[in-house]
Amino acid sequence: MQLYHHWQGIKEKHNKIVVGLGNFDGLHIGHQKLIADLVALARKVGGTPAVFTFHPHPLAILKPEKSPLLLLSQKAKQNFFAKLGVEVLLQIPFDRDFASMSPEDFVKNVLHEEMGACGVVIGYNYTFGRYGRGTPALLEELSAVYGFELRVIPPIAIEGQPVSSTLIRGLLVRGEVTEAAKYLGYYPFVEGEVVTGEQRGRNILGFPTANLNIDQTLLVPANGVYLTKVHIDGESYFGVANIGVKPTFNTNNRNIEVHLLDFYKDLYGIHIKVSFTRRLRKEKKFASPSELVKQIEIDILEARAESLKIKE
C-alpha cells in the first residue's frame, strides 16, 4: 500500500482511482463493509482501491474541546487498511483552509482533477466540505457532472443500532469491551513496548506484570481489571490486566499492566499487543497489599474460567 499526505497529481501515479471517504476511526464493521465494497468496485473496473482520510482528526482543528480520543493509532489504521486490500491511502493533514473548501470545489478540484477518481464510495451519513453541506444526494448529482460511479453504503447496524465510532467510544469509556468488540469486529486493543514498572508486582505481590505506557491520544477502556489475549511475536497468551492508577499504592500515574498466565519469560523492550476480551471488575483500593494479592488470585481463577469461553 502506498501512503501519501497530499492529493496533488495522484492520477498520474495510479490508474482509475476508486476512493472511499471518511475518518474511519476504529475501522469498525460499518467501515469494513464500505472498504470491502470499495475493493470489489475497484476490481470490477480494473482500478485502484484508495481511501481519502484525514490526520489529525478534523475536530482536533475545528473544535479541539470536542476532539475525541482515537480508537486506533495512525500506524494501526494504516496496517488495517492494507490488510483490507486498500492500495493507496491518502492521510491528509486537515487545516482551516481545507475546511473552508466548498463540497463542489472538493469534488471538482480534488476528486476529479487531481485524483481522476472514477468511483467514489461513502456511507449513508457522510457529510463533507464547508459547513458539512456535502451530502450523499449532492455527491449523486456531482457524479453525473464528472462521470464517476457512486456507491452509498446503507447503514450497517446491530439490533437496529447503526455502528459508529462515537458509539464504540462510549462503550469503551464504560469498560464494555465485549460489547464494543461486536461493533468493531475485533477486540479493542493497545500495543507498545513493555516498559519497566516499579517492580512491585514481581517483588512484593508475586505477580510479575508487563507494563505499557498509555498513548495520550488514544482511547483506552475504563479503569478496571480485564481478561486479555496478549499477542507476542505471532503467539498469543491469556492474561489479566489492570488499567488504572493502582490506588492501593497511592500512585496517580495511569497505565496498563498485564500478568500473563503460564508465561515466565522477561518481556522488557518487547512489542506486545493486548486485546481486552472481558471486563472482570472495577479497580479498587485495598487495605493492604496482601488483600490485593488475595483478590488477584480470585481474578486469575475467574480469568481462567472465562478464557475457556473464548474461541479465537
Ligand X SMILES: Cc1cc2nc3c(=O)[nH]c(=O)nc-3n(C[C@H](O)[C@H](O)[C@H](O)COP(=O)(O)O)c2cc1C
Tell me whether residue 106 or residue 207 sits nearer to ligand ATP (CB atom).
106
Does 85 engage in binding with ligand X (CB under 6 A)? no
Q: Which of residues 34-93 bind ligand ATP (CB under 6 A)?
A: 34
Tell me whether residue 160 or residue 234 sits nearer to ligand ATP (CB atom).
160
Cα radius of gyration (the chain): 22
Tell me whether residue 24 or residue 189 sits nearer to ligand X (CB atom).
189
Q: Which of residues 193-222 bind ligand X (CB under 6 A)?
A: 197-201, 205, 207, 209, 211
Work out how close the CB of 266 gets to ligand X at its nearest, in angstroms, rounded to a whole number. Answer: 14
Tell me whether residue 19 or residue 210 sits nearer to ligand ATP (CB atom).
19
> Closest by alpha carbon to 30, among 146, 154, 180?
154
Grid coordinates representing 272? 506486545
199 interacts with, out of ligand X, ligand ATP, none, CB within 5 to 8 A per kind:
ligand X
Work out how close the CB of 1 gets to ligand ATP at its nearest, in angstroms, rounded to a whole number. Answer: 18
Contact pattern from residue 115 through residue 154 relative to ligand ATP, giving x for each residue in contact according to CB under 6 A and a dash for the rest: -------xxxxx--------------------------x-
CB 201 within 8 A of CB 302: no
Torsions phi, psi of 51, nearest 5? -130, 135
Work out how close the CB of 281 gets to ligand ATP at its nearest, in angstroms, rounded to a whole number. Answer: 29
**Among 13-21, 33-41, 74-82, 238-246, the segment contacting ligand X (CB under 6 A):** 238-246
**Among 75-83, 109-117, 120-128, 191-199, the segment contacting ligand X (CB under 6 A):** 191-199
Q: Which of residues 250-289 bind ligand X (CB under 6 A)?
A: 257, 259, 283-285
Point out which residues pair with 97 in neighbouring strands. none
165 interacts with, out of ligand X, ligand ATP, none, CB within 5 to 8 A per kind:
ligand ATP
Does 163 engage in binding with ligand ATP (CB under 6 A)? yes
Q: Given phi > 0 = left and psi -120 to 50 = alpha, else beta, which region is 269?
A: left
Work out how close the CB of 187 gets to ligand X at its nearest, in angstroms, rounded to a whole number. Answer: 17
**Residue type, position 53, single letter:** T
DSSP code string of 49-113: EEEEEESS-HHHHH-GGGPPPBSS-HHHHHHHHHHTT--EEEEEPP-HHHHTS-HHHIIIIIIII
Does 275 engage in binding with ligand ATP (CB under 6 A)? no
List of E strands, the chain: 2-4, 17-21, 48-54, 88-92, 119-123, 149-153, 157-158, 161-162, 189-193, 210-212, 224-232, 235-244, 255-260, 271-281
**Residue type, position 45, single letter:** V
Q: Which of residues 2-21 bind ligand ATP (CB under 6 A)?
A: 21
123 interacts with, out of ligand ATP, ligand X, none, CB within 5 to 8 A per kind:
ligand ATP
Q: How far is CA 310 from CA 73, 87, 228, 276, 303, in A?
A: 26, 33, 10, 12, 11
Instruction: Tell me how far apart the alpha carbons of residues 86 and 271 are, in angstroms, rounded to a whole number.
Output: 25
Q: Is residue 2 helix, strand or coil?
A: strand
> Closest by alpha carbon to 8, among 149, 109, 88?
109
Bridge pairing between strands 235-244 and 224-232 = antiparallel
* Residue with the shortest CB distance to ligand X: 197
Residue in the structure block whose three cell numbers are 510479575: 208
Give how many residues touch ligand X by CB under 6 A: 24
Does 242 engage in binding with ligand X (CB under 6 A)? yes
Binding residues for ligand X, rule: CB under 6 A, are 197-201, 205, 207, 209, 211, 225, 240, 242, 246-249, 257, 259, 283-285, 292, 296, 299
Binding residues for ligand ATP, rule: CB under 6 A, are 21-25, 30-31, 34, 122-126, 153, 155-156, 162-166
